[in-house]
Amino acid sequence: MIKPDTCIYLAAMHPVFNRKYAPLFNNMDAKNSSHLFSSLLLNNHQNIQNINLKTSVVYCFDEKDKDSVPDELKSAKATLHFSDTCNPYQCIRNIEEKYFSSHKNNFILFSDSIGLSSSAMCKGIDLLNIESDAVTIGRSLNNRISFIGFNFINKELLQEIHWSDNNYENLLYKVNKYDAFLHVLNKTLLVNSIEDFKTLYDELSKKESWNYCNQEMHEHFTHLFIEYKEEIK
């Protein structure tokens, strides 16, 4: 069987749209926490939809979001996959068992990240198009993992990776134990803390941010920056 080249997974590792279950971000209330997480996810969604490669797309959401997914995502050219993100390893394992073997390249983008434009995503995927085993890692500005792509399935490696731990050094140590070409792309951001929120404000103030965040999405984030202006001083 000839495998399709690539599948992109936009992976939320917690509820995003259901305000009752989405985690609270710092001192934000449930409404604004969900707004932040959904804005990050929707921004990645738009960049995925704009790539000019033939790819399959799977959006991986928490099962508690099943009745809260926006129509924009329901109508997208993507498969919706729901699982229990309270068990992150089992969550990724379910994706592996259901999808990985059907594709030559698998590219997982974590939904709380920002900074990966459509063209940068294509570059990250293109680095996997070699005969040898290869891994592509997105190293964020805060030394976390924003994405990981690979062109082979090594169950031992997948079992070693603790998917709830997005620390770059930890993942690098585990990947380096295997004989694979490693490519690291920098300059993305994983938004996990109030310091990351401040960095998000700084990054979106730069001209370069228009490459990965359009006017509509800038306005989504501007609402939060105004609401929490004391936090970004």
User: pLDDT 10s digit of each residue in the chain, 233 long?
Assistant: 445 689 999 999 899 999 999 999 988 999 999 999 999 999 999 999 998 778 999 999 999 999 999 999 998 889 999 999 988 778 878 898 999 989 999 999 999 999 999 999 999 999 999 999 999 999 999 899 999 999 998 877 776 665 666 788 888 888 888 888 999 999 899 999 999 999 999 999 999 999 999 999 999 999 999 999 888 87
Which residues contact residue 56 at a Cβ distance below 8 angstroms, ignoring those fewer than 6 apart?
4, 6, 7, 8, 79, 103
pLDDT number for residue 153: 85
Q: Give all domains of the chain, ordered by start, each with its CATH number.
A: 6-190 (3.90.550.10)
pLDDT number for residue 166: 78
Task: Give the sign of the dihedral formed by CA 6, CA 143, CA 188, CA 68.
Answer: positive
Which residues contact residue 68 at a Cβ distance below 8 angstroms, ignoring those fewer than 6 apart?
17, 18
pLDDT number for residue 160: 65
CB contact at 8 A, 225 and 232: yes
Query: Residue 39 is encoded by which pair of tokens?
Result: 């804005």
The DSSP bridge pattern shows strands 145-150 and 56-62 to be unpaired
pLDDT number for residue 70: 95
